Amino acid sequence: MAKYSSSSPLVPDTAWLGRGRHLGPEPEQDVRRNLTALKAAGVLDDFLDLDPVEAARSTVLHPRDESADPGPSARRLFEARWRVADDVTVRAQLTMYDSEDCRKEGGGVTWVLAAEAERTWDDRWPSPATMFWPDSDRVAWDDDTVPGVRLRAANYLPKDDDELRHRLRDCSRKSWYIHVVVHEAMTPDARGQRPVSTFLPPSLRHRVVEHRATPEQAQIADFALKRESNVRLPRGGAVVLPAEPRSPDYDAELFTVRNVFLDGSEPTELLDIIRKYAVLPRPLPDDAERALTRLRQGWHLLTPDEELVHARSMAVKYAEALDAMTKSCDLYRVAAEAAHAALAEVRGGDGALPRPPAPGPVKAGSSPLTALTKAFGRFRDPNT
């Protein structure tokens, strides 16, 4: 089990982070269409569509910061800015990546989304995912990086015992999302098959993955969870799967529900523990930390006021650089004049090059190099 360190950077309470795979044929075009439609509707203030290489070269805020570079496997970068709660600005970056899975049939394109608000994130705000991706089942953008797992769906656990254990293990160790395992006491009707995430507030809805265990999987699912995560799954109940490294504030009893009625009604108790889990301190994964750094230090979509502040800052930097160059030129001129004076002294003041000494035995301390050294020494110290 991975160890949780209090010194590890935590996910900021102002941030929203997501990572997944788009399995459709035109991921970039899906994003462009959605951004264009939302800007036309006044939902977005503005957006940018950037080539990753050009974006890295033209990083506005920190042009020399390597953290702003999305990396060689990046294929497209999008930025969007919108406002929530009337005056709170949200900035978000979506980066798409090619990966080894992309070369395989059905591997899709990996995407990373980092959003940050000017104050603590409120789950009632719109989901950043639906600012870039259309919230439609017809666009397959919502697969987790763990194979076979989707957002916005009730994902049934594999029938094979080993596959079931491996999936639960990968979800707790590799995924950025909150994973909930629900056991069906009996096979539900169409209303009961509705994902629990549909009852969650907008920004939390796309941070939760629901797994379903069929009635006959009660024992194997409970055994796998006990072995992989040291939690239990009650018959007809549910448990929020702890992420690794596990937060010291996680208590399996507090995040377990004994009964979940899958009849289409709102599972209030389960929703409450999901909300409580969502606000626990979470260590920031390495990839998520890089994405958040790129958002903060590689931002291009500036407001007019930000552009003015940036222009003034650049003017100050250019002035400082010009002043440093001027001082360097002055120092170089003084050094050059000193070198010319020393050379003139070596030549005896007549401007002619010194004649080479006649061949003969060389006495100690009388070489031309020694004479030149003494001449420079006299120039540096007039009292010599």
- The string of pLDDT tens digits covering residues 169-212 is 999 999 999 999 999 999 999 999 999 999 999 999 999 999 99
* Residue 103 CB-half CA count within 13 A: 3
| 7: in domain | no
* CA separation for the pair 56, 69 (Å, rounded): 5
Helices 218-229 and 161-173 cross at an angle (nearest 10°) of: 40
Q: Are 115 and 90 in contact (CB under 8 A)?
A: yes
Q: Are residues 284 and 222 in the same domain?
A: yes
Q: Supply the range of the domain harboring residue 238.
A: 15-297
pLDDT by residue (tens digit) across 230-289? 999 999 999 999 998 888 999 999 999 999 999 999 999 999 999 999 999 999 988 999
Q: Which residue matches tokens 């030149």?
A: 372
Give the pLDDT confidence score for residue 346 in this predicted structure. Answer: 75
Quick check: is 66 in a domain? yes
Instruction: Note whether 335 and 287 are same-domain residues.
Output: no
Residues 136 and 93 in one domain: yes
The reported pTM is: 0.78
When pLDDT is cut at 50, 70 and 90, the band that residue 1 belongs to is: very low
Q: Are residues 322 and 195 in the same domain?
A: no
In this structure, the answer to whether residues 123 and 256 fall within a common structural domain is yes
Handedness of CA 33, 36, 42, 48 (dihedral sign): positive
Q: Out of 297, 326, 345, pick the residue that ends a domain.
A: 297
* pLDDT for position 270: 97
Residue 2 belongs to a domain: no
pLDDT band of residue 384 (cuts 50, 70, 90) is: very low
335 in the same domain as 271: no
Domain count, the chain: 2
- The residue out of 265, 297, 329 marking a domain boundary is 297
Among 105-114, 296-305, 352-361, the least confident range: 352-361
Give me the mean pLDDT over the 97-113 stretch.
76
Instruction: With respect to residue 378, please indicate whether it lies within any of the assigned structural domains.
Output: no
DSSP 150: B
- Residues 286, 342 share a domain: no
